[in-house]
Structure 1
Amino acid sequence: MRFLPALLILLLAAGCRVAAPSGPVTSPTSPQTFAPTQTDTLSAGLLPWRQFFRDSALVGLLDTAMRQNLDVRIAVQRVEVYQAQYLARRGALFPTVSAGGTTGLDHYGLYTMTGVGNFDTNLSQNIDGGQRVPTGLTPDYFAGLRSSWEIDIWGKLRSRRRAAYLRVLSSEQGRNLVITNLVADVARAYYELQALDSQLATLERNAKLQEEGLRLIRIQKQAGRVTELAVQQFAAQALRTESLAFETRQRITETETNINQLLGRYPQTIRRTPLRPTQELPANIMVGVPATALLRRPDVRQAELELRATHADVDAARAAFLPSLTLTPYVGLNSFSASQFFNPSSVVYGVLVGLTGPILNRAQVRADYRQAVAGSYQGYYRYQQALQAGFREVVVGLRGLENYRAAADLRAREVAQLRSAVATANELFVAGYASYLEVITAQRSVLDAELNLATARQAQLLQSVNLYRALGGGWR
């Protein structure tokens, strides 16, 4: 019997051994620069969105979105949930104290230790009448304080608290990610709306020119210079332009509705400035060094914090194999006589010390440990995914910004050439050196080129927004 406590401790220690998990397969290191010619050291992602976007109408829309967007409000409440979980984990480090009272009635058999003991007690000459125990039904009254406190010897509770705290920080980065995406979505929809306005203005202007051309071709038909086929070709082209205008108006309505939903309000007219032919980008785009630029992205920060939280989960799961030391003190009033309940002699107190640990059936503990290790691996791979996705988005954004800028310049020159071609075709047609088909082709070509020019300018603006988001901007 003297060696029984030592034997129990050895059994607990034998059941506590668990190997540390092997590390996940490492991914290749990221390049030192986003592009061979990139030498900027300051990233545009550091700029707040109020400074990055120079359009006052867009800034006003973004300000409304920050106050009313439902996704942002949901993200804020998600942070509240994780903060509550952190408070619960932190509270587990402190003792719990509860006040309560119990009342019970017990009937002990004649051949039970308690029954025999009560019978012998009542026969003792050392007790008075108030200390005699009822032998039929024995009451038991208790009122007082009970406490339970698990001593965190191995850091299990501290690891859980750390994991909860890191998830609070991760949820805050998740909220920043929602804001970043919201800024990008509103800006993209706004520039799309500007481009649609420009396309609609182009269609309406060309529609008027084509109506005037149709009127003149009808006059020339009456003079016998052209046939009915020419009139039909001009009329068909005017109808095509009018149908494109209606389609564009529908797209404008859909885009305005989308913006209003992002702003957390019901459909209404969106105030915006027109898309200027020489409209500049929101700000000078600089990207900086990948090692610092990518770590400013909310999704990368969120993945990093979640990875650290999973490491704390693994530490807590490993500590679960070790014995737990629990103190259970109590103090209060306890008596089998209601009349003596409030007697100072009825005061009782004590403490119970418990040491428990898994020995035989450890399936649940092992399952929790394996789950924590797998979660740690997942967190590491998600972190690598976030880094790779961020690097890809920045590289694509940089290339796209250069390519779309060159495409917009070339399409502007194309529009200028085709406008000159339309004027030349009209002059040659009046002089009888060109057919009406050449005039129609020139008009259709310039219309398509003007629409494509608006699309190219839109793509250039959208690419700048995408690059700004890829660099971690928008949530400040």
Structure 2
Amino acid sequence: MKNIKKTILLLLPLFFLNGCKIPTFETKEAQTALPQTFSTQKIAAQANIATLGWKDYFQDSLLIALIDTALSHNQELNMRLQEVLIEQNEIQARKGEYLPFVSLRAGAGVEKEGRYTRLGAVEENLEIKPDTHFPEPLPNYMFGLYASWELDVWKKLRNAKKSAALRYLASVEGNRFFITTLIAEIAESYYELLALDNLLKIIEQNIKLQENVLQAIKLEKEAAKVSQLAVNRFEAQYLNTQNLQYQVRQEITVIENKINFLMGQYPQPIRRNALVFDTLQVRAEAIGAPAQLLTQRPDIKQAELKLAAAKLDVQVAKAYFYPALSLDAGIGMQAFQPALLFNLKSLLFNAATNLAAPLVNRNAIQALYKNANAKQVQAVYYYEQTLLNAYLEVCNQLAQVENFNKSYELKNKEVDILMQSIGISTNLFRAARADYMEVLLTQREALDAKIELIEIKRKQMQAKVNLYRALGGGWN
């Protein structure tokens, strides 16, 4: 025992000196400072629409029903929930690694030593009883408890468990961010459906209007007041407008199926009220201060948790350079006959302490440590990028709300003027005071202006939805 102790004392300095030879890297800290206000703000406010629940924000019973269905049946969301459970199980796995492992063992076997070996020679000359030689082959029966425990001196295992816990929390935040995105995607598609319904209605109204004008032009042609060219031009425009309705119907089908897919169901009509589209209002919302993004946006919190986990992973990788101390112990019964198995003389036990550290060929450990450092730096850049992206998204949506509100007002006035012009041009044409081309161009300009007006309204609603998403609303 004295020699063993001396050997351990002599080797300990080597273990620790070896552990000190660890590569060094430059660390990088995340820059979390955000501007005091968003680009369109003069003074940051505390009120924030992101704190509203999505049912309070949208306030449309049909849209709320669609979102409710999607939150229950969307396949990707359900897959992500399983990912959260997997990450939760990883915590349990990492926790088990720094607790003692105890196992129950039992076995039976037969052993035959070579005669010209040390044990074989002993067996050949050993007599158990007079005129009875050592059994050949020798049976072996045993059972017992065995335990092993790695003492977490350098917190390698505990840090791995903490890292797993942080990744689990990050997966929860990632799931929340997906919920926010899913709600926004359904709402945006829903408003797009309303826009297409209104666009189809306008096209159908123009088809009836152009049909009436075409009949009038044909009567004018029969009266020799216009040529066949006028009839052909009006008829070509009439056919072109008819063709537009089928393009819009196809877009409606695609958007309906997109919503059905998000709700996890096969194609079926999407309930909606197209009449409310014109009455929808988009105003400048309470957006709070940029610093609130840090606590409200799930993707930012997810990036922050992943960064914290990456820092712990560096500590875990670093601990592999240090000596690992483990305890092994066992107690049980062993005999070559079942009848002797429960005899006290068959009792065996052992206990051992192991100290191990890498001395030569540490390439794998060094690569693990280098990768952990690189991933930590990578996590810093990802966190900073997520912050920047979140801030810019809010700025873009704020600008879109403001600009398209002004654009809608002007375009609405343009539509009113052109609608008046259609009646004026038609009356002038019938009184032979205007050319048929004026009627044709006025109709075309009015239809284009109406289509543009609906598109602007759609972009307004898109900005309303995306501003809520950009601020981190929806998951709560």
What interval of TM-score do these two structures reach, taking the shorter chain for normalisation? over 0.9
Query: Number of matched residues?
Result: 469
Query: 1:97, 1:145 within 8 Å by CA — same for their partners in 2?
Result: yes
Residue 47 of structure 1 is matched in structure 2 by 52
Residue 281 of structure 2 is matched in structure 1 by 280
Residue 35 of structure 2 is matched in structure 1 by 31
Which is worse superposed, 17-26 or 174-183? 17-26
The structural deviation recorded for 1:474 is 1.4
Partner SS, residue 94 of structure 1: coil
2-structure distance, mates of 1:472, 1:129: 85
Amino acid at match of 1:198: N
2-structure distance, mates of 1:200, 1:343: 93
**1:103-162 deviations in Å (ceiling 9; x for gaps):** 343344566554565567x46xxxx759x9826433332211111111111100000000
Call closer, same or farther: CA 1:415–1:216 in 2, change over 3 Å.
same
Residue 191 of structure 2 is matched in structure 1 by 191
The structural deviation recorded for 1:267 is 0.4
1-structure distance, mates of 2:116, 2:12: 36
Partner SS, residue 19 of structure 2: coil
Residue 105 of structure 1 is matched in structure 2 by 110
Amino acid at match of 2:18: G
2-structure distance, mates of 1:189, 1:268: 15
1-structure distance, mates of 2:355, 2:200: 78
Amino acid at match of 1:335: A
Any gaps of 5 or more consecutive residues in structure 2? none
The structural deviation recorded for 1:21 is 3.3
Residue 67 of structure 2 is matched in structure 1 by 62
**1:248-294 deviations in Å (ceiling 9; x for gaps):** 1111111111110011000000001114323123x862211111224
2-structure distance, mates of 1:177, 1:265: 22
Query: 2:195, 2:277 within 8 Å by CA — same for their partners in 1?
Result: no
The structural deviation recorded for 1:4 is 2.2
Call closer, same or farther: CA 1:224–1:290 in 2, change over 3 Å.
same
Partner SS, residue 170 of structure 2: helix
The structural deviation recorded for 1:314 is 0.7
Call closer, same or farther: CA 1:38–1:235 in 2, change over 3 Å.
farther
Residue 438 of structure 2 is matched in structure 1 by 438
> Which of these residues, 4, 7, 23, is aligned with residue 7 of structure 2?
4
Query: 1:188, 1:462 within 8 Å by CA — same for their partners in 2?
Result: yes
Q: 1:409 aligned to 2:409?
A: yes
Residue 392 of structure 2 is matched in structure 1 by 392
Which is worse superposed, 346-355 or 173-182? 346-355
Query: 2:194, 2:277 within 8 Å by CA — same for their partners in 1?
Result: no
1-structure distance, mates of 2:81, 2:257: 25
Partner SS, residue 15 of structure 1: helix
The structural deviation recorded for 1:38 is 4.7
1-structure distance, mates of 2:239, 2:357: 84
Query: 2:124, 2:134 within 8 Å by CA — same for their partners in 1?
Result: no
Partner SS, residue 288 of structure 1: coil
Residue 383 of structure 1 is matched in structure 2 by 383
Query: What do you get for the CA RMSD once the two structures are aligned?
Result: 2.0
2-structure distance, mates of 1:16, 1:87: 29
TM-score, L = length of structure 1: 0.94
The structural deviation recorded for 1:198 is 0.7
TM-score, L = length of structure 2: 0.94
Residue 13 of structure 1 is matched in structure 2 by 16
Call closer, same or farther: CA 1:67–1:372 in 2, change over 3 Å.
same
2-structure distance, mates of 1:110, 1:10: 44
**1:399-457 deviations in Å (ceiling 9; x for gaps):** 11100111111111110111111121112112221111001100110000001000000
**1:296-346 deviations in Å (ceiling 9; x for gaps):** 211111111111111111111111111111111111111233331122332
Any gaps of 5 or more consecutive residues in structure 1? none
1-structure distance, mates of 2:359, 2:211: 91
Partner SS, residue 328 of structure 1: strand
Partner SS, residue 23 of structure 1: coil
Amino acid at match of 2:17: A
- Report 1:161-310 matches (<5 A): 161-274=161-274, 275-281=276-282, 285-310=285-310
Residue 462 of structure 1 is matched in structure 2 by 462
1-structure distance, mates of 2:255, 2:269: 11
Partner SS, residue 261 of structure 2: helix
The structural deviation recorded for 1:27 is 4.8
Which is worse superposed, 360-369 or 238-247? 360-369
Query: 1:294, 1:391 within 8 Å by CA — same for their partners in 2?
Result: no
Amino acid at match of 1:458: R
Report percent identity of matched pairs: 37
Query: 2:202, 2:450 within 8 Å by CA — same for their partners in 1?
Result: yes
2-structure distance, mates of 1:186, 1:276: 16
Which is worse superposed, 200-209 or 140-149? 140-149
2-structure distance, mates of 1:408, 1:225: 40
2-structure distance, mates of 1:171, 1:142: 47
Residue 421 of structure 1 is matched in structure 2 by 421
Amino acid at match of 1:44: I
Query: 2:284, 2:402 within 8 Å by CA — same for their partners in 1?
Result: no
**1:356-376 deviations in Å (ceiling 9; x for gaps):** 111112111111111111111
The structural deviation recorded for 1:214 is 0.8
Partner SS, residue 140 of structure 2: strand
2-structure distance, mates of 1:8, 1:113: 32
Residue 452 of structure 2 is matched in structure 1 by 452
Call closer, same or farther: CA 1:109–1:268 in 2, change over 3 Å.
closer
Which is worse superposed, 21-30 or 219-228? 21-30
Which is worse superposed, 340-349 or 194-203? 340-349
Q: 1:357 aligned to 2:362?
A: no
Which is worse superposed, 363-372 or 35-44? 35-44
> Which of these residues, 65, 78, 87, is aligned with residue 73 of structure 1?
78
Residue 26 of structure 2 is matched in structure 1 by 22
Residue 82 of structure 1 is matched in structure 2 by 87
Call closer, same or farther: CA 1:146–1:88 in 2, change over 3 Å.
same
